[in-house]
Amino acid sequence: MTTLILKPVSPAERSQWIDAFHAADPTLTIIDWDDPSVPPETVDYAFAWQPEGRRIAAMPNLRAVISPAAGLDHILRDPAFPRDMPLYRMGTQETVDQMGDYVCWAALTLVRDAWRWAEAQARQEWSPWLNQTRTAATTTVGVMGLGELGRATALRLKALGFQVCGWARSAHHIDGVDTFAGDDAFIPFLNRTDILVSLLPATSQTAGILGKKTFAHLRPQASIISVGRGSQLIAQDLVDAINSNVLRGAVLDVVPQEPLPQDSPLWTCRGVTISPHMASEASYRDRAAYAVSVIHQIEAGKQPALRYDPAKGY
């Protein structure tokens, strides 16, 4: 019998997660992270948000930790988390589809300067705005990060009529998308880009990548879509770039500090649209089914996809 220890974001979610896991695999034994009577040697797998690294290390038969989110920084920021423990990112089809929907919406929002309509509506003012007839077909979206989410998002943007290019540390091939790879290709990639999308993981190399050094190489009046990790954005650089007309606007789903402080200049920066880290939030059902599929693959001696690689940092 396989035992899973469960630590959700909020205790209020516990019953929904248990129902979802039992729907995916009725034979799975589910135990509560906060139950002090649980012998650590009985735990086979952990599905956990911000698990304490010392407790993970104290589970001698633990075979893997599965994150309920695509990001892993909520786990890896704890220095006590054992770096040799198999760790898997969340990767459901709902996650992929929702992210593609969000980025397509954000790109169209930026093409049409829709923030101006929102401002006028808040003032109850009928204020037509001529935005120089920009269209998707005349706009190049550059996607940074070409993993599962980045690849699917690039194809969705292409199908919507945008010109699309992509950049990653290593080489990728995507039909109909011009791809760039490595540090030497980064500036040529930026030079092609009107709307820059970050779907990069949180690593030491990507920290602060959405800052003035990057913005300076984009096409004039470019825009930003931040859906990777909040650590990638230098907020004041973004505000300064918009106020000085280096950038045209931004859609931000992830920011350096969450929740965003009330005194952050991002709230009042014209041209910036903010969502509360909700670009892609798959259902309990879909995420539990994915976690169960990871468990079943490991039990069958297979290697599931989306395993964290310490050498790469994601």
pLDDT digits (tens, 9 = 90+) for 38-95: 999 999 999 999 999 999 999 999 999 999 998 899 999 999 999 999 999 999 999 9
pLDDT higher than 90, residue 286: yes
- pLDDT (average), residues 250-265: 97
Confidence of residue 169 (pLDDT cuts 50, 70, 90): very high
Q: Could you state, in order of their start, the residue ranges of all structural domains in the chain?
A: 3-92+282-299, 95-274
Per the residue annotation, which of 151, 156, 169, 229 is the catalytic one? Answer: 229
Report the alpha-carbon distance of residue 251 to residue 107 in Å, rounded.
8
Cis peptide before 259 (omega within 30 of 0): yes
- Structure token digits, residue 308: 């964290």
In this prediction, residue 27 carries a pLDDT of 97
Q: Output the pTM of the full model.
A: 0.91
- pLDDT (average), residues 131-143: 90
Domain 3-92+282-299 maps to which CATH number in 3.50.50.60, 3.40.50.720, 3.40.50.970, 1.10.260.40? 3.40.50.720
In this prediction, residue 132 carries a pLDDT of 67
3-92+282-299 and 95-274 in the same fold = yes
pLDDT higher than 80, residue 23: yes
3-state SS assignment for residue 231: helix
Q: What is the DSSP letter of 261?
A: P
- pLDDT (average), residues 104-120: 95
Torsions phi, psi for 282 (to 5 deg):
-65, 160
- pLDDT (average), residues 261-269: 97
Report the alpha-carbon distance of residue 8 to residue 96 in Å, rounded.
21
Interacting residues of 263 by C-beta distance below 8 A, sequence separation 6+: none
- Structure token digits, residue 104: 């397509």
- Structure token digits, residue 172: 């990728």
Q: Measuring CA to CA, which residue among 311, 293, 312 is closest to residue 64?
A: 293
Alpha carbon separation from 215 to 108, 163, 208 (Å, rounded): 20, 19, 11
Residue located via tokens 């304490």: 52
In this prediction, residue 311 carries a pLDDT of 86
Longest dimension (CA), the chain: 66
- pLDDT (average), residues 162-170: 97
pLDDT higher than 80, residue 133: no
In the sheet that holds 272-274, the strands lie side by side as: 178-181, 163-168, 140-144, 195-198, 222-226, 247-252, 272-274
In this prediction, residue 131 carries a pLDDT of 62
Report the alpha-carbon distance of residue 30 to residue 46 in Å, rounded.
10
Contact between 56 and 75 (Cβ < 8 Å): no
- Any catalytic annotation for residue 229? yes
Per the residue annotation, which of 151, 172, 192, 277 is the catalytic one? Answer: 277
Name the percent of the chain lying above pLDDT 70.
Answer: 99
Q: Which CATH superfamily is domain 95-274 in?
A: NAD(P)-binding Rossmann-like Domain (3.40.50.720)
- Any catalytic annotation for residue 173? no
